[in-house]
Structure 1
Amino acid sequence: MDDCIFCKIASHEVPSNIVYEDEYAVAFNDLNPQTPVHVLVVPKKHIASIAAAQAEDEQLLGHLLLTVQRVAKALGVEESGYRVITNCGKDACQSVQHLHLHILGGKPMQERMG
């Protein structure tokens, strides 16, 4: 997608602090971190949200979760714990229409959501 900022980051058209990259995904530091570790994992393939994923994306979706695991380990939050979030749609405050998983860690989290 031509105007998608995450597609541009994944293709290196826009600079970003990339912490992990492979053939299918890229992970980079969030510009507005909510925790000491706040990284976004995005597929290189443009998928607007989890709701827009298709059956042919099944392996890619699994790959994204394993990428989260790799990144969490590399960033040192694997043992202490981390939260993984994906927002879907405007009511969930999805601000970029490209599927992305937030990895949040580096401090104790609050139990409640919302």
Structure 2
Amino acid sequence: METYAGDDFYCDVAIPRVVPLDVVHEDELVLAYHHTRPFWPVHVVVVPRRHIASLTSVTARDEADVRAVLAVVQSVAAAVERDHRAAAVLTNLGTYQDSKHLHVHVSSGAPLRD
């Protein structure tokens, strides 16, 4: 796949598997995989399978999905911390959020690019 030009990579590409993914975790609520264009040496993305726009748009209706996402983030971050001695957890909002779908980055290491 060339450069993606849409605004929801997760609903459009990742969840329906338009491209192959190196999956870390998958269940009925959550998908976690190694980023297709990593910014850090270790870079896993955790997303709810159901569309939720961002952390600031979460409502009571999203509780089960968000709880499931956080449980997977905790598990992935613990494994990254164990294997690499450090982990960072990040989500972006507003104009910082390239893909308008709640997603959490779990990473380790120095940025690969500026």
Task: Normalising by structure 1, report the TM-score.
Answer: 0.76
> Counterpart of 1:12?
17
Of 31-40 and 95-104, deviating more is 31-40
Poorly superposed stretches of 4+, deviation over 6 Å = none
1:83 and 1:36 map into 2 onto residues whose CA distance is 12
* Structure in which a larger fraction of residues adopt helix: 2
Match of 2:80 among 72, 77, 81: 77
Shift of the alpha carbon at 1:108? 6.8
Aligned residues: 103
Matches of residues 59-78 of structure 1 in structure 2 within 5 Å? Answer: 59-73=64-78, 76-78=79-81
1:98 and 1:67 map into 2 onto residues whose CA distance is 17
Is 1:41–2:24 an aligned residue pair?
no
Match of 1:95 among 78, 87, 98: 98
1:32 and 1:9 map into 2 onto residues whose CA distance is 12
> Counterpart of 2:62?
57
Q: Which amino acid aligns with 2:40?
A: T
Q: Match of 2:80, SS?
A: coil
CA deviation vs aligned residue, 1:27-46 (integer Å, no higher than 9, x gap):
11112322211011000000
Identical counterparts, % of pairs = 39
1:87 and 1:6 map into 2 onto residues whose CA distance is 14
Q: CA RMSD in A?
A: 2.3
1:14 and 1:66 map into 2 onto residues whose CA distance is 25
Q: Match of 1:68, SS?
A: helix
Task: Normalising by structure 2, report the TM-score.
Answer: 0.76
